Structure 1
């Protein structure tokens, strides 16, 4: 019985993939191209230069960011599938680990879930990559310790492509910024600062 159910699930998944109109995530698509059930796919492997481990070090302070790609993530709000570039981070300050999300198990089924310990924040630390061009991606950034979700820009600084079509990049800049928030009684309810360093250059490991 379990084998039958598993077979049906696989067939259903393959059927969904076959029926989903594919839109190149790196193309100049418009609203007419985005229909319910469509699939924004990384057709040309445009996410590849971002994928991997990046690190910033300043004395005994270290920030590590690891990017990976998850294929065909379904978003209930937009009712479409997208390939997602997911970021996870670990920050060490004065040799002491401040926060570590590197062991978070993020997959296509839970990428949009809420964090079990921070229910106002997403489980994925950096999610929703908006592909701007070959060197820039935007994310929703979860700062769990400050209980806020803001914006992260990750810009590749020295992207080159060799004769074999392979991407070579060694440095990138991380920029964090706050979204607009309503003031409560004349005061901003959120700390404008971030737990991790901002406006820094990271090196690919």
Structure 2
């Protein structure tokens, strides 16, 4: 009987060790969790990303931008000391003027952990935003927020992020403005 009890305790201990600690991604600021042990999963339980998934288009006169957003579930982050999982909203965009492509990020490897041109997060409290939406042509990054206005309409609002430029001993070229507007209203295609 002792051997059976010991085996049961051993199996139970091993199975407890491999369990995933699932945390609602929008509530992560209110919960202590480890982002280094490989067992944490910041999950979009409330499906906040879902309404943003798809192909979105903005047009104004001779300018247009197409933004494609994809939800990745249980994406494994393993950079440096980090070792956890999270749901994320990534994608790419194509910006055109007069029918000529000015920026096309559709060739981006969306499986990269960091350094993506389009990578949105759910902020604590449920807002969807981006810590760095890249303007490739101007070599700038913008902080962007997305606001769902209706099932087919979305507002894109960008602003220059803090610490975007690093000016040191070497001369740095600073491009003024942005290639595309920092406030756009997209329609789902």
Report the TM-score when normalising by structure 1. Answer: 0.69
Q: TM-score if structure 2 supplies the norm length?
A: 0.74
Q: Which segments of 5 or more consecutive residues in structure 1 lack a partner in the other structure?
A: 1-14, 113-121, 159-168
Aligned to 2:175: 191
Structure 1 match to 2:129: 138
Tell me the residue number matched to 1:173: 155
- Cα 1:105–1:183 change in 2 (3 A) is closer
SS in 2 for 1:195: coil
Moved more, 50-59 or 23-32: 23-32
User: 2:65 aligned to 63, 71, 81, which one?
Assistant: 63
Which runs of 5 or more residues in structure 2 are unaligned? 1-14
Q: What are the superposed Cα offsets for residues 46-93 of structure 1, whole Å, 9 maximum, x if unpaired?
A: 211010111111123111101101122233254322111003100011
Structure 1 partner of 2:119: 127
Matched, 1:95 2:95: no
Q: Residues 129-148 of structure 1: CA distance to partner in whole angstroms, max 9, x if unpaired?
A: 134555x3111211222222
Residue 84 in 1 paired to residue 120 in 2?
no
Helix, strand or coil: the match of 2:94? strand
Measured against aligned partners, the alpha-carbon deviations of 1:140-194 in whole angstroms (never above 9, x if no partner) come to 2112222222311111113xxxxxxxxxx11111111112236669x98533422
Larger Rg: 2
CA distance in structure 2 between the aligned counterparts of 1:62 and 1:88, rounded to whole angstroms: 14
> 1:157 aligned to 2:119?
no
Q: Is the 8 A contact 2:26 2:122 kept in 1?
A: no
CA contact (8 A) 1:62 1:93 kept: yes
How far has the Cα of 1:199 moved from its partner? 0.8
> Which consecutive aligned stretches of 4+ in structure 1 deviate over 6 angstroms post-superposition?
none
Retained in 1: the 8 A contact 2:93–2:106? Answer: yes
2:108 corresponds in structure 1 to 104
Count of residue pairs brought into register by the alignment: 165
Bigger relative contact order, structure 1 or 2 (CA pairs below 8 A, ≥6 apart): 2
Deviation string 1:107-136 (CA, Å, 9 cap, x unpaired) is 2xx232xxxxxxxxx2x22114134555x3
